[in-house]
Structure 1
Amino acid sequence: MRRIFAIMGMYPVSYYDLSQAGVPVHSTAFRPIDEASLSRNPFRMFTSLLRLELIENAALRQRAAEILSQRDIFTSRCRQLLDEYDEQGGFSAAQAEEFVRETLETFRWHRQATVDEETYRSLHREHRLIADVVCFPGCHINHLTPRTLDIDRVQAMMPECGITPKILIEGPPRREVPILLRQTSFKALEEQVLFVDEKQGTHTARFGEIEQRGVALTPKGRRLYDELLHKAGTGKDNFTHQLHLREVFNAFPDSEFLLRLQGLAWFRYRLTPSGEAHRQAIHPGDDPQPLIERGWVIAQPITYEDFLPVSAAGIFQSNLGNETLARSYGNASRDAFEQALGCAVRDEFSLYQEAEERSKRRCGLL
């Protein structure tokens, strides 16, 4: 999977332990990491690996391992094309088209299960997501996430369109300066499936998600965010939850000036035409704020391109119907994940810091 995404210019960023919220997987986000690619197509794929060791029933854990060992989610031609890409250092146009066709087979939804109904039910009772991962031929895409500029309006409009939304919007509250990521979603469809014993059933896997993205936070900002989110807790309905969240988050500065001044968020700096005309008066180490006030420099918030692990787990739980079954496994295994991945995941904070520093160097501030 890592090799496939690398061909598409997408690389693993951050490690997410969803077991802390009762989902037995750990994950990374494959995404572009350079500014040109992000400005052209900021597409990201949140990709999870099942943690078999978190299946409590030993016999069921062994059965799941056996089932997974007997399948290959990639076509033989896809594997050949990956080797050809490595040997050639790229693809011809014809190879690229074939690569897309073959890769689509990995992500395609499959109605035909690879197990009998009883095995499916056993895994489903352990956790719906375990059944979803183990019982089908491929690792289908379970949701797409369109982006909105006003997620509160989307949440309010979904019932008007006959769509049942998730009870709570995940993430921070509505703000003048949006931070990180806010997410909502709607329930997964019940879809007809066929088991190997020719019995018919239904499976719930594919759902819809919607997001609103804000500015990326520094480690200091993220610590404050986590502290306030923990303090706020979770409400029973979205109205009271958001109201309480906004009260608690009054402690989080809500202007670009204060976010910069207190080092809570990342910004990208650029010179205005007036700044270019006075470039010789700008020196490494200068405070950007007087230059911003003078009209020589503009500071733009850097968009958060990653995910929030607790929010991601909450989306999975609510849309697959497991809210009441959430268990806190709470034992991250980053080393095992990176071993399976074949490389270390990149650190999101380093990527944002590098982007800010590059922009400062272009302005002569570093």
Structure 2
Amino acid sequence: MPTVSTDAIRTRFSAAMSAMYRDEVPLYGDLLSIVADVNDRVLADRPALQAELRAAGELDRLGVERHGAIRLATAAELAMMRRAFAVMGMWPVGYYDLSVAGVPVHSTAFRAVDDAALAANPFRVFTSLLRLDLIEDAALRAEAAAILAERRIFTDMGVRLIERAEAQGGLDDDEADRFVAELLETFRWHGDARVDAATYDRLNAAHRLIADIVSFRGPHINHLTPRTLDIDAAQAEMQARGIKAKAVIEGPPPRAVPILLRQTSFKAIEEDVTFPGDQAGQHTARFGEIEQRGAALTPKGRALYDRLLEQARGGSQGSHAERLAAAFAAFPDTMEAMRTAGLAYFRYTLTDADGAAITGGDLDDWIAAGHVRATPIIYEDFLPVSAAGIFQSNLGSDEQRSYGASAAQAAFEAALGAAVADEFALYANLEARSIAQVRTALRRAAA
């Protein structure tokens, strides 16, 4: 039976999601316009960057790149969502415990994992699971569990198509389109609450994310994020257009060589909701986010990053931006310095067509001679501190609390029905494969 590739299904779904979210949250359309304008200017002003992105296979994916975020309520929802994302070639990568930052969820990122799939479409969804155990009020905790036990977020046809894809190894063209349409219903906003206003208020008092997850029919997409090449310019443009943007960009400071992930957003919008009995109300949860992605860091690089970030956060002199810039002066800011220090992962490719010009030496010699190019591998994942910062800024300052240290990854994976992949291992494998491909090409040239 002819099947549609998982990459193609992922592309269809991300495009359909983007169209739906633009209808639901018109400001998202403004973000897309801002990001497109900024990216066009950056590429026009920096032809070397454009050539680098094209050589790395990054240019074509830039305009379609999105990441979404959803919040699930139960283990059954998470397990079925894992199966749904698998139909699109997306797998759980990394574990994020946001409870230590005062957000009662833990999360993973569903995304493509190999070079070809990422180049085709790097759509990713940051997927959180509610920690009911963190609701301190036992009666409210039991009430929330009872409400969620009755919730069904997938359509019957959607589940049947997931099962069909698993049984027959994929979907044909018509089935793929139907799967996208059915799964889209899971992510759609529904303004009719499943709980009465009094219950909503009690859930909201416990935590706004708890109310957002428990009170509604499904895990409405709460942001859909395009990728910019200059987040500082995008932030300034948001403010110039009167969009209420975050005051602080989450993540590392501006650098010559971007690292990891920088994020900003406009504040969550107020949406009309209807409670049982036709009682009107408002709910605040969904917002607009923009991100800039840089080099994926090795464990050594990440340890340095975390230490410098903590140093900046713990300082008292100057603004946050000034403390951040001062702390990160200790992080090398050239590709070669980062590479030789083992701080980031790189992809290696031959600059010569067949490698015949290379005689002897090792990888560093070949790079120095210009025979091999080293380009940073783009970070495809997320930062817990940044994610929590974005969440908190859209929840209000009254939500700054801490649930204490937690180590719940085993429980999360049990709910998921699978282990999450180690993101460091994925980047290391990408780097190792690129080196192996260079060496194989050189052996062939020498034969």
TM-score range, shorter chain: over 0.9
Number of the residue aligned with 1:244: 323
Structure 1 residue 326: deviation in Å?
A: 2.8
List gaps (5 residues or longer) in structure 1: none
Letter in 2 for 1:339: A
- Decide which of 381, 387, 391 is 1:316's aligned counterpart: 391
Corresponding residue SS for 2:234: helix
* Contact kept in structure 2, 1:275 and 1:295, CA below 8 Å: no
Number of the residue aligned with 2:365: 290
Letter in 2 for 1:319: N
The residue correspondences of 1:1-366 to structure 2 (distance < 5 A) are: 1-233=81-313, 240-273=319-352, 276-278=355-357, 281=359, 286=362, 288-322=363-397, 324-364=399-439
From the two aligned structures, give the one with the greater helix fraction: 2
Summarize deviations over 1:200-258 as a string: whole Å, max 9, x none.
Answer: 1000111000100000000000000000000100789xx92222211111111111111
Structure 1 residue 332: deviation in Å?
A: 2.8
- Distance of aligned partners of 1:273 and 1:348 in 2 relative to their CA distance in 1, 3 Å threshold: same
Structure 1 CA distance for aligned equivalents of residues 242 and 315 of structure 2: 24
* Contact kept in structure 2, 1:163 and 1:186, CA below 8 Å: yes
* Contact kept in structure 2, 1:19 and 1:332, CA below 8 Å: no
- Using the size of structure 1 for normalisation, the TM-score is 0.95
In terms of mean alpha carbon deviation, does 214-223 or 158-167 score higher? 158-167
Letter in 1 for 2:253: P
Summarize deviations over 1:20-43 as a string: whole Å, max 9, x none.
Answer: 110000000000001001112111
Structure 1 residue 330: deviation in Å?
A: 2.5
Structure 2 CA distance for aligned equivalents of residues 62 and 248 of structure 1: 46
* Contact kept in structure 2, 1:14 and 1:348, CA below 8 Å: yes
Structure 2 CA distance for aligned equivalents of residues 322 and 40 of structure 1: 40
Structure 2 CA distance for aligned equivalents of residues 104 and 320 of structure 1: 26
Structure 2 CA distance for aligned equivalents of residues 46 and 87 of structure 1: 27
* Contact kept in structure 2, 1:274 and 1:296, CA below 8 Å: no
* Contact kept in structure 2, 1:114 and 1:135, CA below 8 Å: yes
- Distance of aligned partners of 1:95 and 1:266 in 2 relative to their CA distance in 1, 3 Å threshold: same
* Contact kept in structure 1, 2:207 and 2:399, CA below 8 Å: no
Structure 1 residue 323: deviation in Å?
A: 5.4
Structure 1 residue 274: deviation in Å?
A: 6.2
Structure 1 residue 146: deviation in Å?
A: 1.1
Structure 1 CA distance for aligned equivalents of residues 170 and 200 of structure 2: 41
Corresponding residue SS for 1:336: helix
- Distance of aligned partners of 1:300 and 1:282 in 2 relative to their CA distance in 1, 3 Å threshold: farther
Summarize deviations over 1:1-25 as a string: whole Å, max 9, x none.
Answer: 0011011011000000001110000
Structure 1 CA distance for aligned equivalents of residues 350 and 315 of structure 2: 44
Structure 1 residue 342: deviation in Å?
A: 0.6
* Contact kept in structure 2, 1:317 and 1:323, CA below 8 Å: no
Alignment size in residue pairs: 361
Structure 1 CA distance for aligned equivalents of residues 91 and 210 of structure 2: 25
Structure 1 residue 282: deviation in Å?
A: 5.0
Q: Work out the percentage of aligned pairs sharing the same amino acid.
A: 59
Letter in 2 for 1:355: L
Corresponding residue SS for 2:333: coil
* Contact kept in structure 2, 1:128 and 1:322, CA below 8 Å: no
Corresponding residue SS for 1:72: coil
Letter in 2 for 1:45: V
Structure 1 residue 197: deviation in Å?
A: 3.0
Structure 1 residue 324: deviation in Å?
A: 4.6
- Distance of aligned partners of 1:96 and 1:234 in 2 relative to their CA distance in 1, 3 Å threshold: farther
Structure 1 residue 158: deviation in Å?
A: 1.7
Structure 1 residue 187: deviation in Å?
A: 0.5
Structure 1 residue 328: deviation in Å?
A: 3.8
